[in-house]
Amino acid sequence: MFIIILSNFMILKNWAMKYKIFTLLIVSCFFYPVISPAQQSEKRSKDAETVNALLAFQVGVPSKEMQAAIKNNMGNTGFGGALAVLTNPFTWGRNKRNSPIRIGAEIGYTYYGRFLSDVNINGYRGSYKTSYGILQANALVRLLPSTPAPVRPFIEALVGGNFYLSNTKENLSAIESALGIPAFDIDSYASAGFNKGVAVGCSFGKKRHKDAGMFTLRLSYNWGSDIKYVVRNSLIYNGSTLQYTVGRAPVNYIMVQAGIGL
């Protein structure tokens, strides 16, 4: 059911409708029986779950307003990877026990593409390649059923930052690359913006032991302050150096992640 809802969610083009559906998913998680009667009598033992993690492939889907900073040939989406690690605070002391709370952090990078610029420098026409992406780094608080189950949903609140990273270098031909000629780095540009968001997800599978992995889907909605970015095809030579135009766009995107969770 979760996969069906997710697939229908992703094909929607109306962001207002996406926001409503995302809110409904979050609200529904609050009504899921996070702590079942059997879990209410959970015992303190060495088998208490101490750490949860997620290693995932991710796809970023920017809002229409944010797409000004993206503008690629991949449907204005991006792809990358992420790692999240969370810990059970009720295992920090001597009396360890399971709980529905996890505290941790995530870091990930989404590659959004590249563009080529042809620049005339004193009669020499050179080709330059600018690659760009966004790194996300967030603190997480997760609520989930206290003990592992074949289907284990969770909900998260997150806060952190988005970091736009770009690098411009010479665009070498296939022959130059084959000869091992290094590409000359022209410049790098970075900007940072505040980020906050909410996420819902679910892990599927039966754990044969405490550290066994489970297939996990996670969907997050992120929004925050503006980021600055290199405007596509704005690279020019001003007589002494190469320079580019910097634009500004709001941060508002959906992140879809699929991977192995603990």
Q: How many domains does the chain have?
A: 1
In this prediction, residue 95 has a pLDDT band, given cuts at 50, 70 and 90, of confident
**pLDDT recorded at residue 42:** 47
With pLDDT > 70 as the criterion, what percentage of the chain qualifies? 74
Is residue 214 situated within a structural domain? Answer: yes
Is residue 209 situated within a structural domain? Answer: yes
CA–CA distance, 200 with 188 (Å, rounded to integer):
35
Q: Is residue 96 over pLDDT 70?
A: yes
Is residue 235 situated within a structural domain? Answer: yes
Is residue 221 situated within a structural domain? Answer: yes
Q: Which residue has the tokens 């229908």?
A: 8
With pLDDT > 90 as the criterion, what percentage of the chain qualifies? 51
Is residue 65 situated within a structural domain? Answer: yes
In this prediction, residue 31 has a pLDDT band, given cuts at 50, 70 and 90, of very low
In this prediction, residue 27 has a pLDDT band, given cuts at 50, 70 and 90, of low
Report the predicted TM-score, pTM, of the whole model to 2 decimal places. Answer: 0.79
Say which CATH number the domain at 151 has.
Answer: 2.40.160.20
Of 38-52, 91-105, 144-158, 200-214, which range is least confident?
38-52
**pLDDT recorded at residue 8:** 57
Is residue 5 situated within a structural domain? Answer: no
Is residue 37 situated within a structural domain? Answer: no
Is residue 19 situated within a structural domain? Answer: no
Q: Is residue 30 over pLDDT 60?
A: no
HSE-up of residue 34 (Cα within 13 Å, Cβ side): 14
Domain extent at residue 106? 48-261
- When pLDDT is averaged across residues 100-128 and rounded to a whole number, the result is 85
Q: Which of 178, 59, 163, 40 is nearest to 110 (CA)?
A: 59
- When pLDDT is averaged across residues 94-107 and rounded to a whole number, the result is 92
Q: Is residue 61 over pLDDT 50?
A: yes
